[in-house]
A and B are shown apart, each in its own frame.
Chain A
Amino acid sequence: MEVIFLLIAISLILAVTFLYLFFKAMKGGQFEDDYTPSIRILFDNHKKSTKDQPTKPKSYE
């Protein structure tokens, strides 16, 4: 029965991890605009099929 101590610890750690991830997603603005990404995801295919553009704009500078 003592294994329950371990299981509880694991389950709590897991749950806290999910809570933390949710906080992170919230702070990162993942829930602010839930429409544009649905369109944006279609673009990349287009881009790759026509020309090899750097998808990361960071490549400038």
Chain B
Amino acid sequence: MASTSPSLTLKCYHCGEECEDSCLFVEDKPFCCQGCKLVYEVLSENDLCIYYELESHPGESQKKKSTQTNRFDYLDDPDTQLKLLDFKNENESHVTFYVPLIHCASCIWLLENLYQVHSGVIYSRVDFLKKKVQVKFNPEKISLKELVNLLSTLGYEPKINLSNLEKKTESVADKATVLKLAVAGFCFGNMMLFSVPEYFSEAKLMAPNFRGLFNYLNVVLALPIVLYSATDYYRSAWNSLKQRQINMDVPIVLGIIALFFYSLWEIFIFGNAGYMDSLGGLLFFLLLGKIYQQKTYATLEFDRDYKSYFPIAVTRMVQDQEEVIPLTKLEVGDIILVRDEELIPADSILLSAHANIDYSFVTGEEVPVPKQKGELIYAGGRQKGEPVLLTIQKSPSQGYLTDLWNNESFEKGKEKLLEPLSTKISGVFTWSVLSIAFVALVFWSFTDLSLGVKAFTSVLIVACPCALAMSTPFTLGNTLRVFGRSKFYLKNASVVERLALIDTVVFDKTGTLTDPANAKVYFEGETLTLESRGILKALVSRSTHPLSNRINLWLGHVPLKKIDQFQEIKGKGIQGIYNQQKILLGSREFAGYRSQVDDSPGNKVFLTIEGMEMGCFHIQSGMREGASGVVKRLDPNYQLHLLSGDHPHELGALQENLGKHLSYNFLQSPTDKLNYLKTLNSKGNKSLMIGDGLNDAGALQESEVGVAVTDRVSHFSPASDAILDAESFYKIPDYLDFAKKSRTIIKLSFGLSFLYNLVGISLAVQGLLSPVICAVLMPLSSISVVVFTTLATNLVAWRKGLLTHK
């Protein structure tokens, strides 16, 4: 009866998995499978066993690895090679691979010591957080294909997909901003030093040549700021003016120009100090704010489309001969072979008798769907089980799913849709400042023209949009960080502003509101004894099928029974022998079950023991934890919609859980979902779409803010504005509320900076402005605004409980 045989306690030396049935030994080290053993042998041959010392069981199980040896043949294609390589000359090629399996120190060590395994590798470097490895190799000694094969043998198969092939335009913008900040900081710091005498009344005590020298040095130091650091602002202001708009950068540029030329005039004509230090401070703080706002999540990708998931090559059958071709060369009518765990790249018709397609990728539902010969299979499904033959009906870019990406919604960027708060205000701000300046000019001109000119420029100088321009980036930047800490990752800061204006929330059903892991299971039939539960548990715990996992969870903790001749027939079921009785668990045909059972939605798993019909498991996907709470909390303030690709038979159960205020929509194809959002938009609604699968990609794109829910953040998610960790799903109402609050904070800090401007301008119109006042007022206003926004956002976040667990 004891289920723990000694072999169960042995752990594979390579991957740490329990060696279940057969154990392979090298020296005294156990291995769970051939693959793991092979990796160990390669490593020990090359004296690289430190790999196993750095971490215990550092490897990844090699059981599920594809054994198809020709799957990298497409890498011999020169076109494909050219697209993949970063650099190439006669005796050196550089390539960067994405290797999702990098997970520990041992991985880094091994991958950086590749040159010890093969002499063709010159150098390799791992970026752990991005899970990337850059390899420099000698193409004469090792071809790209051999290199990928080598990595794959070691258990680090790189992931190569179509979007790798389209040359990535890595943004150098962030880097440039940092350099501009460095220059601004350098110049600002030195200018401050040279201006210190001016701040006190000691300037008159200095020898005149010092004063002149300091002023001229300030001019020299101001040049890099005006000519280099500030260039982004000129560009942005010019672009905005061209579109007959006034964004925040227009008053900034106005201020820069006024400061610079007025200071030049002061310094060269009158030998006065000028305001160059204030100019430096302005740019320094502005650039600081800009960088603070640019929070990026290097490990997350927000812009993935279907190309990131689709395989790069497929196996085509030509006169019963297999050949591996790049996906781009696939044509309608081709016959392709799709193996276990491979993705179907294009809409096609099944030629083999049976297939078992897992659409989790597309719909979020992970239980495979059985398909018969002649049925149309949509792209994006994953075959589970025996290899199948398919004939291509549509080219990969024209399928049911991929058609979405040809929709115009994917052409336009979202950022242009919403006018940020700061743009609205800056228009008013610029016009008020200009009119105040002119009024001051006219007013003083009657008595003293030079005083009038001074008042005019003083107003332009002191009406510093610095505090104004900084309140937005610092508030949004901090909000972004708070969201990130509570596992809600936003693509960029503008998403916060859009989130604050949401009035409609649209949910996808499967995988978003429902959680496959939270399934409802009930058993119809004979009462299960503790013994039979133990038998079932022993069976299902060996299978990786999602339904097995759900039954396993339902069974709870029962002592395992010993099962012999366990077998899993993919797509059909599992079987085993207990006390000479054959136990079958699986589909109706597999189990040989003939009696009628309750007609319920969801999946059914039948159980027979030696031909005796024992009963049937009904498995329905349950609601995600907190889903009904989220809906209830959102209900008073938002319009709620639900979109589902399924049949409406679950409507009753859904209404029970979520209430009747939602508008329920069933049988929605990916394009229907997109159009639904379009209709909402045309009615003027600001919609938030929450979805998870590729079938929501269109809707996510069309919505004002699209949020992808995923259980494993770094794994799969369609293109979206934000990625939400599924365990934080219940916080959605808090997120929306927090986004609204941070918009309020921006408004308040605008008020604060207006206050400063009021003081500054009231001095300026009287012609009383001096470099000292300017030098004090500018940093003071900037810093106090930064402190205010940071404290306020943190306080709100803390009250909402968004900061509680890091």
Binding site for B on A (CB under 8 A): 1, 4-5, 8, 12, 15-16, 18-19, 22-23, 26, 31-33, 35-36, 39-40, 42-43, 46-47, 50-51, 53, 57-58, 60-61
Contacts and interface: CB of A to CB of B under 8 A. Distances in A.
A42 to B, nearest CB: 7
A47 B119 CA distance: 19
Contacts of A51: 47
B115 A46 contact: no
Interface of A, helix, strand, loop or mixed by DSSP: helix
B217 interface: yes
A11 B179 CA distance: 21
B128 interface: yes
Given A33-B127, A36-B127, A46-B54, 9 more contacts: A4-B210, A12-B217, A18-B186, A19-B183, A35-B129, A39-B105, A42-B105, A46-B109, A57-B115
Contacts, number: 66
Contacts of B53: 46
Contacts of A8: 213, 217
Nearest to B176: A26
A33 B130 contact: yes
B161 to A, nearest CB: 23
A60 to B, nearest CB: 6
Contacts of A58: 122-123
Contacts of B183: 19
Interface residues of B, number: 32
Contacts of B115: 57, 60
B186 A36 contact: no
Contact of B109 (A31, A33, A43): A43
Given A36-B108, A46-B53, A53-B116, A15 B186 contact: yes
A26 B54 CA distance: 31
9 contacts: A19-B183, A22-B182, A35-B129, A36-B108, A43-B105, A46-B53, A53-B116, A60-B115, A60-B119
Contacts of A1: 207, 210
A19 B186 contact: yes
A47 B108 CA distance: 14
A19 B113 CA distance: 35
B105 to A, nearest CB: 5
A26 B181 CA distance: 12
A18 B119 CA distance: 40
B179 A36 contact: no
A15 B190 CA distance: 9
Contacts of B47: 51
Nearest to A23: B179
A50 B50 contact: yes
A57 B108 contact: no
A10 to B, nearest CB: 13
Contact of A26 (B50, B105, B128, B175): B175
Contacts of B109: 43, 46
B586 to A, nearest CB: 46
The residue among A4, A36, A42, A58 with the most chain B CB atoms within 10 A of its own CB is A36
A58 B119 CA distance: 11
A50 B138 CA distance: 28
A33 B123 contact: no
B122 A57 contact: yes
B126 interface: yes
A36 B134 CA distance: 13
B278 to A, nearest CB: 20
B182 A33 contact: no
B639 to A, nearest CB: 43
Nearest to B108: A39
A16 B221 CA distance: 11
Query: Considering residues A4, A16, A19, A57, which has the most beta carbons from chain B within 10 angstroms of its beta carbon?
Result: A57
A9 B122 CA distance: 46
Contacts of B178: 26, 31
B203 to A, nearest CB: 15
B179 A33 contact: no
Contact of A40 (B108, B119, B186): B108
Given A23-B179, A26-B175, A61-B122, A40 B50 contact: no
Interface in B35-54: 47, 50, 53-54
A12 B190 contact: yes
Q: Which of A12, A23, A39 has the most CB of B within 10 A?
A: A39
A51 B113 CA distance: 13
Nearest to A53: B116
Contacts of A53: 113, 116
Contacts of A23: 179, 182
B724 to A, nearest CB: 24
A40 B109 CA distance: 7
Contacts of B210: 1, 4
B112 interface: yes
Contacts of B130: 33
Contact of B129 (A5, A36, A47, A61): A36
B179 A40 contact: no
Contacts of A22: 182
B126 A36 contact: yes
A60 B182 contact: no
Contacts of B50: 46-47, 50
A58 to B, nearest CB: 8
B128 A33 contact: yes
Closest 9 CB pairs of A and B: A36-B128, A33-B127, A57-B115, A19-B186, A57-B123, A39-B105, A35-B129, A35-B128, A43-B109
